[in-house]
Structure 1
């Protein structure tokens, strides 16, 4: 009796597992798609399109991913030079950047009133540290050309005069060309990375860096993935790759996300059926073991 009852339940759970597996095999997963008529943009590789008065380019369109690029040809860009950097100006001459904010003393130690009880020793101003308002470009040179030494943080050129060695401050040495720049000045230099001459304005000078602002080209890339929502500029689009080399963009994100929710719901049901199969198979194994257990008496 125990054996026959076990076989009956085993058959029942086998039917349940087979039914769940059959449903999984027959079920078709929904897909997120965009009807060509509903697509705001149908793009191929290299195709340009207008969005909010900007021109974008579909630089890469694959089977299920791609990218959109926007190039701003009049972007405000910045570059920084640090104290000691070597730069090349538009005439091809290389210069070393020298920035010296210096210490500005206003008033020093001022005594008013001698040793009087009222007034005593009065100090007005003290030592103030002023930020740099200018910097100097010094023509670059090698150690083979000139010998240099440093004294109290200042560089000197060693010059021979009448058999004696004389130290001439670097900025006063006539053998090297120097150029002084201040805030707001215009400067043109060679950008080796961009491969062109850049003309910019000096917008900031700190104790160890110089900031130059200029108009240049800046690009922004937006990645596209099939079935997902992408933000291009400030606008959201549903993305669909119907075939390799073609991408549809739709601004109807609400219906696009509804399709995504349907896919999520479908996957949840499929996972539930796999759990049914797993539980049914586990139960079958357990029932088979119990059915073959010997009965006392």
Structure 2
């Protein structure tokens, strides 16, 4: 009788467990049903005068981007800081250049090399290939530096500024010291060339490559004919670029305008396109060109933008409450499945425990 009763209860609990499990599998989770357009990654939408691109979509977050065609940029040249000739430029600036024709030869790393240009590569390249051994070669890209000698002209640490099909341009210049007058309201500033003594000596065949120092500490240039000249007298007058408010100056290839000069810095302003990102979060609002939208992610690949109204927020909240209630019932049913299954197995096991009689 004991085993029969256990078998009956085993079947009962098994049926309850199976029924609960079946209901868990069949029950559909409520969905958030909002009125609004749906977008996938890469789609675009236009709001007002702006066109947004769906840049990324995750589980409950994403990002839109749009381009401001005339964004304002500002950079400050601080007093007593230095700036490279590659950063600032103007008409008539002292920048030396040499051109290397495709197929020409230069002295590089102690041996003759041929110049081979590949303007169609991305990025374009300049390759120096040893004339006597083609397996010895070095490849450079625009913006990189190299030291070589061509037709008796020594070029230390020249920067490759252009690579075309027929020729490449190698340039070199100086850094400039930003100086601002010690005045209450300065209206001008200056960029003063900083002399590269090492380069001047290396590129002047008439002098030794290093300076001498007199007993009193004065540095001097040693000419190869045995004469000497104080360094201060040897150096050329530095280039000085005056800056005034409202003038233009090239900064990283952008035409900038000198702003309100202060005792601490020279501001440079310019306009250029800028990509602006807009973050999206589940259940939050987002403003797109002064229009407000409510954000919902139906799945990990889709975002929905609904009008940010009271009706939308109420509908979203009600849907979330239904989803929470569904999850609670689902969790309870899983509890029934587990407990019923455990009880069935336990009763069946206890029924077959040997009796002491």
Corresponding residue for residue 12 of structure 1 = 12
RMSD, aligned CA: 4.4
Q: Compute the displacement of 1:292 (Å).
A: 1.5
Moved more, 260-269 or 23-32: 260-269
Tell me, yes or no, if the aligned pair for 2:220 and 2:230 is still in contact at 8 Å.
yes
Corresponding residue for residue 294 of structure 2 = 237
Corresponding residue for residue 74 of structure 1 = 70
Corresponding residue for residue 58 of structure 1 = 53
Corresponding residue for residue 250 of structure 1 = 307
Which runs of structure 1 show a deviation greater than 6 angstroms over 4 or more consecutive aligned residues?
61-66, 204-207
Deviations 1:222-262 (A, max 9, x none): 3557x7545244734233669x8995543244123432332
Whole-angstrom distance in 2 between the partners of 1:277 and 1:206: 77
Q: Compute the displacement of 1:78 (Å).
A: 2.5
> Could you say if the C-alpha distance between residues 24 and 215 of structure 1 is closer, same or farther in structure 2, counting changes exceeding 3 Å?
same
> Could you say if the C-alpha distance between residues 258 and 206 of structure 1 is closer, same or farther in structure 2, counting changes exceeding 3 Å?
farther
Give matches, 1:121-132, under 5 Å: none
Corresponding residue for residue 193 of structure 2 = 138
Tell me, yes or no, if the aligned pair for 1:89 and 1:95 is still in contact at 8 Å.
no
5+ residue gaps, structure 2, are: 96-172, 183-187, 203-209
Tell me, yes or no, if the aligned pair for 1:159 and 1:168 is still in contact at 8 Å.
no
5+ residue gaps, structure 1, are: 105-132
Corresponding residue for residue 84 of structure 1 = 82
Deviations 1:116-148 (A, max 9, x none): xxxxxxxxxxxxxxxxx9452427757332479
Tell me, yes or no, if the aligned pair for 1:90 and 1:197 is still in contact at 8 Å.
no
Whole-angstrom distance in 1 between the partners of 2:39 and 2:334: 40
Tell me, yes or no, if the aligned pair for 1:201 and 1:214 is still in contact at 8 Å.
no
- Secondary structure of 1:267's counterpart equals helix
What TM-score results when the alignment is normalised by the length of structure 2?
0.53
Corresponding residue for residue 32 of structure 1 = 32
Corresponding residue for residue 334 of structure 2 = 274
Corresponding residue for residue 135 of structure 2 = none
Equivalent pairs, count = 248
Q: Are positions 1:188 and 2:249 aligned together? A: yes
> Could you say if the C-alpha distance between residues 73 and 2 of structure 1 is closer, same or farther in structure 2, counting changes exceeding 3 Å?
same
Tell me, yes or no, if the aligned pair for 1:76 and 1:215 is still in contact at 8 Å.
yes
> Could you say if the C-alpha distance between residues 57 and 12 of structure 1 is closer, same or farther in structure 2, counting changes exceeding 3 Å?
same
Whole-angstrom distance in 2 between the partners of 1:16 and 1:287: 14
Corresponding residue for residue 214 of structure 1 = 270
> Could you say if the C-alpha distance between residues 167 and 27 of structure 1 is closer, same or farther in structure 2, counting changes exceeding 3 Å?
same
Q: Compute the displacement of 1:283 (Å).
A: 2.0
Tell me, yes or no, if the aligned pair for 1:33 and 1:240 is still in contact at 8 Å.
no
Whole-angstrom distance in 1 between the partners of 2:47 and 2:31: 28
- Secondary structure of 2:232's counterpart equals strand
- Secondary structure of 1:286's counterpart equals helix
Tell me, yes or no, if the aligned pair for 1:61 and 1:247 is still in contact at 8 Å.
no
- Secondary structure of 1:168's counterpart equals helix
